[in-house]
Structure 1
Amino acid sequence: MGNCCCKGAKEDISTKAVVYSVDPPSQPAQDVTPLNPYVHQPPPSASKAVPNHYVALYDYETAVDSLPFRKFDEFQIIDFTTTDWFLARKLTDNTEGFVPASYIAEFGSLKTYPWYFEVLSRKDAGVMLNKSVDGSYLVRPSETKPGCFSLSVKVPEMSKQTDDPNKKPNSIKHYIIRHSKENNTFFIRQQMPFKSIAELLEFFKSNKDQLGYQLTEAAKPLSSLPDLVVKTWEIDPKDIQLGAELGHGAFGMVYRGTLKGQTQVAIKTFKPGTMDTEAFLEEADLMKKLRHKNILSLLAIQTKAEPIMIITELMGNGALLDYVRKPATKQILKVKDQIDMAAQCADGMAYLEISGFIHRDLAARNVLVNESRQCKIADFGLSKLDEEYTASNTTRFPVKWTAPEAALYGNYSIKSDVWSFGVLLYEIITFGRVPYPGKNNKEVLDMLETEARMEKPNNCPDAYYGLMMTCHKQDPNDRPTFETLKFQLEDYFFGTTDREYQ
């Protein structure tokens, strides 16, 4: 950021700040006071008289009891019925119906800009930009500076310069965009404030001298589908093209595929007769209710023809268990990376915890990993919406991942999920070793009855093993919450010596 100068200013920035005003494309600034510092000036079509004014971010084809619309359609929200669905009136024709909340945004807000990504890590920003053209950019909330934003840019080849000839130039640069509450301006350098983030970006798109290169276009998202929650998303079988097999199980197969000829997805199919439609829809309905960055997202279902299918986002690195077992993974993963993956799993489970769900089959085989090493909890076929669930005598369960009260008495709760998480921690730190090495299921059950525990794995930090053991307290009430586990893993390195985790 130190290379930002101010050659385009008409006044001396050393003595007086200049507020740059550049109209964003197709959105001339209006004399409207924003509702908050992150809501920009609305375009001319905006009406001050319309309360709860929202705009469509994507095209949406109709589902049962919902309202079809096209990108840029405008609505008045009549009733914020749930967090997932709003009852809306389309302003062009006054038709009413339910619209998915993740497909719309408050009129004039940051979400309406193609360069803004509300939920995106620095790591994922790099993956996205590396697949875009030079000069591509995006804006996201800053991970290190709460209340600020990050401008991430793919630096053109000619601009990749470094003073150290032995140091490889970085192809992605990140700039902090700060907000001044005093005069409601945004800036990378305090001497160059702008009325909005959109105006800041337009200035750097037009002035090459400021960064040493020009911004070109908004980065292309990795998926053309948003994170959608729907009541019914029944897809026509002809819209699904099956590709390579990704895995298989007792109920059916999982394939890589394409949805509507453009979006890469994962397709879970079920063998005829292995699951009735009602049970299938129960799993799909459960997934529709769960929306979190560390929970696998449902995109569509198909029940019109055999085999019935669940269509989800594609996770390029597959199951966490398979991923950590790969020789190439073992070469690149450090303890800090393993702890980061564990923290992500804890974050997803903390979301299940506050949502009132228990998973009942938490294990590395049921966690998926994408190309940027983002982990997502998956496989909710055994999940229940109960504080505690008692299994029948005929229920089959994975003994080595199951808490004593669940294995011996069939009592499942979120605290039995915490026990399973302790086993997941073992799988992560050992690069996918089978827990309780050398012991069969009967021997493991005998251990649980005598309160014996797994020994600390080789090369496992003491603090990490201690966390595993808190998950394996005999009394479920003594085990931590997933929220606590998340915080402990995220803060793991505070007070830990370098030697312990290098």
Structure 2
Amino acid sequence: MSEGSLQEVFIKRSQQKKKTSPLNYKERLFVLTEDRISYYDYDAEKQKKKSLKGFVELEKVKCVETVTPDDGAPPERQFPFQIIYDEGPLYVFARNDVIRKQWIHSLKHMVRIFNKDQMQKYHPCFWEDGVWKCCQQAVKQAIGCRVLESRNGGFRFDGSRRTTRKPLPPTPDEDKPPRPPPPQPPQPPTTSQGMTVIAQYEYTPTTPQDLELRKDEEYTILEMSDPNWWKARDKYGKEGYIPSNYVIEGTNSLDKYDWYCKGTNRSQAEHLLKTENKDGGFLVRDSSKAGKYTVSVFTKAGGEIAGCCRHYNICTTQQGLFYLAEKHNFATIPELINYHQHNAAGLVSRLKHIVSNKAKSAPSTAGLGYGIWEIDPHHLTFIKELGSGQFGVVKYGKWQGQHDVAIKMIKEGSMSEDDFIDEAKVMMKLRHENLVQLYGVCTKQRPIYIVTEYLSNGCLLNYLRETLQSPHPVQLLEMCKDVSEGMAYLESQQFIHRDLAARNCLVDGSGTIKVTDFGLSRYVLDDEYTSSVGSKFPVRWSPPEVLNYCKFSSKSDVWAYGVLMWEIYTLGRMPYERLNNTEIVDKVSGGLRLYRPQLANEKVYSVMSSCWREKPEDRPTFQDLSASVQDLLYEMQ
């Protein structure tokens, strides 16, 4: 069999993306093709491949390496190896060392073709029960503790810095802005019977190719060639495309419960509970610590007229059982919740009333329907003006009379329109809960329109200055977390923002922060904006290498993120407010940095300051920043 088409039955360990059950080990048929590794359910008796259970694109793989087996592991789990990609480690157990070496060799060879940017350090032991067993770090994204000693992906892993670097993106004075690589290249169709998913939201088709989704009904996935739109079949045999973020795998044990409020942070949870105003109201949310969960409870038992909220982290025993305040242990989280619905057992109250955010509107889709990117302007209704910016007026409106949208009307002469239009399809594929979704463009008339997701609370800068009243420290840090996660996604897609600031973030109705206008500064035709000497250039958010050489990178975005954190903790003050642009260029290049805001403690200011290191390579990545902010949030819970 050729190197590019290996097949083997391995034991796969569950990935603990969400710690809803103890670890399990299942036989899966692994198939390595030219651009992905897929794994399938497998009938051992009939030696037959069954439904697709998952896959990893080779372009996302950061490292392939052996893992040290656990002490006392059974014979079938003596030869583990790990495939590290964006979502964490995939652990696989081979029958013997020969097969393991063959797969590691083949994977490393093929990964080099797709991804030159490999890890320099890795974890030689397993991630288990919320910690790395080798170094006891409790952050899943923590940098590895062992240096890779072999050549991998074209880089030498001997502890020294890479001698080859990605080329810096072209500077603004070049004729034509570059296009970043597509966020996720098209994948070959999955022709075998796919996984079963359950619809979390209703979806009404907007094109003849779409398939209607009915909440809580099951669908079979037929094809995943577009990461944002999957081809599916309903129970009546009808086929079409559905938004992939509207469904969950049928085996996911938490998403189907009304008390699980996915994506809800502490501030949002307290708002939900206080609005409901019921003693014993509760919900379960993701903890700030990756892979963990928190139960938030509203109580009036403390004598407070308005009531208050208590937060309990769901803990895990060494055996993988779950418990809350008292050690009443349960195999699953749903069993734990059911018990505490009838027994307080150490909590301030038993869990009496489910408080849910499931009635919220459905999440944004990548486009307004499968294949839609050019929008008919006649389908847009303009309702009110939201403001104006670098490119022109922004209005709130409706698409087809029902979908809320924001419409940016590009004034002629402000943008390199042809270049932007070429890239609009690529930008539409960027989808993250902390990015403002681009829905499409209207390019058949002038002015052209850019149609995006609408966020009801508007610009973060105005929100900080005018709406936020006596914010809790957790609320400010959650804002920073939202931005760091959106930017970590852009960083993973090799996409540079170039103009990150509070004015370029928006706030939705529940207080979630989303980054907008990413990459648009490359298309500005205004000389004052594209030159660091111009008054419109974002000097106050720019690092020395941008001010002096116009060298943009993800690390210049990191600098701007530190300034944005400063804006959040000063509730929207102007950075370096007493200096003009010329003075800022001189003083920042000479070592001046922003002071610690009164609302920021030393740990928060340390994160800010790490973004303002002189050399770009000394600054953290957004993935590092996101992990640091999550750690600080976890300390506050």
TM-score range (shorter-chain normalised) is 0.5 to 0.7
SS at match of 1:332: coil
Match of 1:347 in 2: 485
Match of 1:44 in 2: none
Cα distance, 1:425–1:197 mapped onto 2, change above 3 Å: closer
What CA distance in whole angstroms lies between the structure 1 residues aligned with 2:630 and 2:351?
Answer: 36
Is the contact made by 2:396 and 2:405 (CA closer than 8 Å) also made in structure 1? yes
What CA distance in whole angstroms lies between the structure 2 residues aligned with 1:125 and 1:285?
Answer: 35
What CA distance in whole angstroms lies between the structure 1 residues aligned with 2:603 and 2:352?
Answer: 47
Is the contact made by 1:367 and 1:378 (CA closer than 8 Å) also made in structure 2? yes
What are the superposed Cα offsets for residues 242-262 of structure 1, whole Å, 9 maximum, x if unpaired?
333222113122233344545
Cα distance, 1:273–1:63 mapped onto 2, change above 3 Å: farther
SS at match of 1:269: strand
- Structure 1 stretches lacking a partner, 5+ long: 1-35, 39-47, 206-210, 385-390, 497-502
Q: 1:229 aligns with which of 366, 369, 372?
A: 366
Q: 2:262 aligns with which of 95, 114, 118?
A: 118
- Cα shift at 1:362: 0.9
Q: Does 394-403 or 99-108 show the bigger shift?
A: 394-403
What CA distance in whole angstroms lies between the structure 1 residues aligned with 2:546 and 2:280?
Answer: 52
- Cα shift at 1:58: 2.4
Q: Does 186-195 or 439-448 show the bigger shift?
A: 186-195
Is 1:435 matched with 2:578? no
Cα distance, 1:453–1:161 mapped onto 2, change above 3 Å: closer
What CA distance in whole angstroms lies between the structure 1 residues aligned with 2:290 and 2:616?
Answer: 36
Is 1:67 matched with 2:210? yes
Match of 1:143 in 2: 287
SS at match of 2:360: coil
- Cα shift at 1:416: 1.1
What are the superposed Cα offsets for residues 130-185 of structure 1, whole Å, 9 maximum, x if unpaired?
667979988644427976766778x8xxxx75362x54334x78788899999999
Match of 1:23 in 2: none
Matches of residues 321-340 of structure 1 in structure 2 within 5 Å? 321-326=461-466, 329=468, 331-340=469-478
SS at match of 1:245: strand
SS at match of 1:255: strand
What is the aligned length? 433
Q: 1:454 aligns with which of 593, 596, 614?
A: 593
- Cα shift at 1:332: 0.5
- Cα shift at 1:112: 5.4
Match of 1:376 in 2: 514
Normalising by structure 1, we get a TM-score of 0.67
- Cα shift at 1:337: 3.9
Cα distance, 1:131–1:268 mapped onto 2, change above 3 Å: farther
Identity %: 33
Is 1:162 matched with 2:301? yes
AA of the residue aligned to 1:398: P
- Cα shift at 1:470: 2.8
- Cα shift at 1:410: 2.0
SS at match of 1:222: coil
Cα distance, 1:137–1:282 mapped onto 2, change above 3 Å: farther
Match of 1:4 in 2: none
AA of the residue aligned to 2:492: I
Match of 2:243 in 1: 100
Is the contact made by 1:86 and 1:100 (CA closer than 8 Å) also made in structure 2? yes
Matches of residues 96-495 of structure 1 in structure 2 within 5 Å? 97-107=240-250, 109=252, 110-111=254-255, 116-128=260-272, 140-143=284-287, 161-162=300-301, 164=303, 166-170=304-308, 197=334, 219=357, 221-223=359-361, 225-230=362-367, 231-237=371-377, 239-272=379-412, 274-275=414-415, 278-281=418-421, 284-299=424-439, 301-303=441-443, 307-326=447-466, 329=468, 331-382=469-520, 397-449=537-589, 451-454=590-593, 456-457=595-596, 459=598, 461-492=601-632
AA of the residue aligned to 1:399: V
SS at match of 2:593: coil
- Cα shift at 1:485: 2.3
Cα distance, 1:464–1:292 mapped onto 2, change above 3 Å: same
SS at match of 2:492: helix
Q: Which has the higher strand share?
A: 2
- Cα shift at 1:411: 1.4
AA of the residue aligned to 2:438: L
Is the contact made by 2:194 and 2:222 (CA closer than 8 Å) also made in structure 1? no
AA of the residue aligned to 1:316: S
Is the contact made by 1:137 and 1:151 (CA closer than 8 Å) also made in structure 2? no
SS at match of 2:382: strand
Cα distance, 1:147–1:350 mapped onto 2, change above 3 Å: closer
AA of the residue aligned to 1:288: M
Q: Does 486-495 or 335-344 show the bigger shift?
A: 486-495
SS at match of 2:498: coil
What CA distance in whole angstroms lies between the structure 2 residues aligned with 1:468 and 1:146?
Answer: 21
What CA distance in whole angstroms lies between the structure 1 residues aligned with 2:320 and 2:611?
Answer: 50
- Cα shift at 1:429: 2.9
AA of the residue aligned to 1:424: L
What CA distance in whole angstroms lies between the structure 1 residues aligned with 2:614 and 2:504?
Answer: 24
Is the contact made by 1:186 and 1:195 (CA closer than 8 Å) also made in structure 2? no
Is the contact made by 2:480 and 2:565 (CA closer than 8 Å) also made in structure 1? yes
What CA distance in whole angstroms lies between the structure 2 residues aligned with 1:258 and 1:237?
Answer: 11
Cα distance, 1:105–1:278 mapped onto 2, change above 3 Å: farther
What CA distance in whole angstroms lies between the structure 1 residues aligned with 2:246 and 2:300?
Answer: 40
- Cα shift at 1:453: 1.0
What CA distance in whole angstroms lies between the structure 2 residues aligned with 1:316 and 1:204?
Answer: 35
Is the contact made by 1:115 and 1:137 (CA closer than 8 Å) also made in structure 2? no
Q: Does 105-114 or 395-404 show the bigger shift?
A: 105-114
What CA distance in whole angstroms lies between the structure 2 residues aligned with 1:378 and 1:84?
Answer: 19
- Cα shift at 1:432: 2.4
Superposed CA RMSD in Å reads 4.9
What CA distance in whole angstroms lies between the structure 2 residues aligned with 1:183 and 1:471?
Answer: 38
Cα distance, 1:455–1:401 mapped onto 2, change above 3 Å: closer
Cα distance, 1:139–1:275 mapped onto 2, change above 3 Å: same
Q: Does 362-371 or 292-301 show the bigger shift?
A: 292-301
Cα distance, 1:228–1:111 mapped onto 2, change above 3 Å: farther
Match of 2:61 in 1: none
What CA distance in whole angstroms lies between the structure 2 residues aligned with 1:130 and 1:105?
Answer: 29
Match of 2:29 in 1: none
AA of the residue aligned to 1:86: W
- Cα shift at 1:426: 2.9
SS at match of 1:443: helix
Normalising by structure 2, we get a TM-score of 0.55
What are the superposed Cα offsets for residues 3-46 of structure 1, whole Å, 9 maximum, x if unpaired?
xxxxxxxxxxxxxxxxxxxxxxxxxxxxxxxxx869xxxxxxxx
- Cα shift at 1:319: 1.9
What are the superposed Cα offsets for residues 66-103 of structure 1, whole Å, 9 maximum, x if unpaired?
433342675432333243233434553454x5433113
- Cα shift at 1:62: 4.2
AA of the residue aligned to 2:514: K
What CA distance in whole angstroms lies between the structure 2 residues aligned with 1:148 and 1:413?
Answer: 33
